[in-house]
């Protein structure tokens, strides 16, 4: 093996120095990214802590709401079919009182969430627009634990009635307290 001349030695040194600098720059960049990512995560954790402290400040309010729910919400049903039947009967009776016609009704599968059980029914109804709107406005009630989950309301443009007629497809759900939801 021959000895390198002066020029070749300088080029070798320059090449090795360049490789050394590049490796160090890549290492510094990786360390900087790691440190920067940690500060962003710390900021997220600080925001989450503030949010949780806010919830803790409202603890008494939420405990009162929970107590009200436990006292007022109907207990969980023994039979989903019976609960659905009662909901359908209530809806049919209230529609009959308003003289609103039911075109179709569909029972939906009962659902369970963390703190409540739910039964639901989808109705397709038609009738005088003012009566349909009145019925819809009275449907949800604080003490009934009923909610409108879906609503599609339109005017019946083909109707020959004197009063404007409405077509409505509505999904109504009733909630029941799930056992041990304190």
Q: Which CATH architecture describes the domain 74-177?
A: 2-Layer Sandwich (3.30)
Which of the two residues, 1 and 2, has the higher pLDDT score?
A: 2
| Residue 57: pLDDT band with limits 50, 70, 90 | confident
Which structure tokens are listed for 172?
């109504």
Q: Provide the pLDDT for residue 156.
A: 83
Please give the pLDDT value at position 170.
95
What is the SS3 assignment for the chain?
Answer: CCCCCHHHHHHHHHHHHHHHHHHHHHHHHHHHHHHHHHHHHHHHHHHHHHHHHHHHHCHHHHHHHHHHHHHHCCECCCCHHHHHHHHHHHHHHHHHHHCCEEEEEEECCCEECCCEEEEEEEEEEEEEHHHHHHHHHHHCCCCCCEEEEEEEEEECCCCCCCCCEEEEEEEEEEEEECCCCC
Q: Is the pTM of this model over 0.75?
A: no
What pLDDT does 157 receive?
81
Tokens found for residue 180: 């041990």
pLDDT at 39: 64
pLDDT digit string, tens, across residues 126-172: 999 999 999 998 888 778 889 999 999 998 888 778 888 899 999 99
Q: Per residue in 11-42, pLDDT tens?
A: 989 999 999 999 999 999 988 887 776 666 77
Chain segment 66-117, per-residue pLDDT in tens: 898 888 888 888 788 888 999 999 999 999 998 999 999 999 999 988 888 9
User: What tokens were used for 122?
Assistant: 């989808």
Q: What is the pLDDT of residue 161?
A: 82
CA R_g for the chain: 34
Residue 178 has a pLDDT of: 82
Give the contacts of 98 (CB within 8 A, at least 6 positions apart). Answer: 127, 131, 132, 134, 135
160 CB-side CA count, 13 A: 0
- Answer yes or no: are the C-beta atoms of 107 and 121 closer than 8 Å: yes
Whole-angstrom distance, CA of residue 79 vs CA of residue 134 = 31
pLDDT at 54 over 80: yes
Q: Which of residues 159 and 61 earns the better pLDDT score?
A: 61
């Amino acid at each position: 093996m021959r000895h390198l001349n002066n020029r070749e030695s300088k080029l070798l040194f320059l090449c090795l120095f360049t490789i050394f600098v590049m490796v160090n720059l890549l290492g510094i960049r990786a360390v900087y990214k790691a440190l920067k990512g940690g500060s962003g995560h710390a900021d997220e954790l600080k925001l989450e802590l503030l949010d949780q402290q806010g919830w803790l400040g409202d603890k008494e309010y939420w405990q009162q709401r929970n107590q009200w729910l436990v006292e007022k919400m109907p207990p969980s049903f023994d039979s989903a079919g019976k609960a659905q039947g009662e909901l359908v009967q209530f809806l049919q009776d209230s529609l009959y009182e308003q003289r609103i016609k039911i075109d179709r009704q569909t029972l939906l599968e009962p659902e369970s969430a963390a703190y409540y059980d739910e039964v639901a029914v989808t109705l397709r109804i038609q009738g005088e627009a003012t009566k349909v709107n009145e019925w819809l406005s009275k449907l949800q009630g604080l003490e009934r634990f009923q909610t409108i989950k879906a609503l599609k309301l339109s005017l019946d443009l083909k109707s020959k009635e004197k009063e404007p007629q409405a077509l409505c497809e509505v999904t109504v759900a009733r909630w029941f307290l799930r056992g041990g939801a304190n």
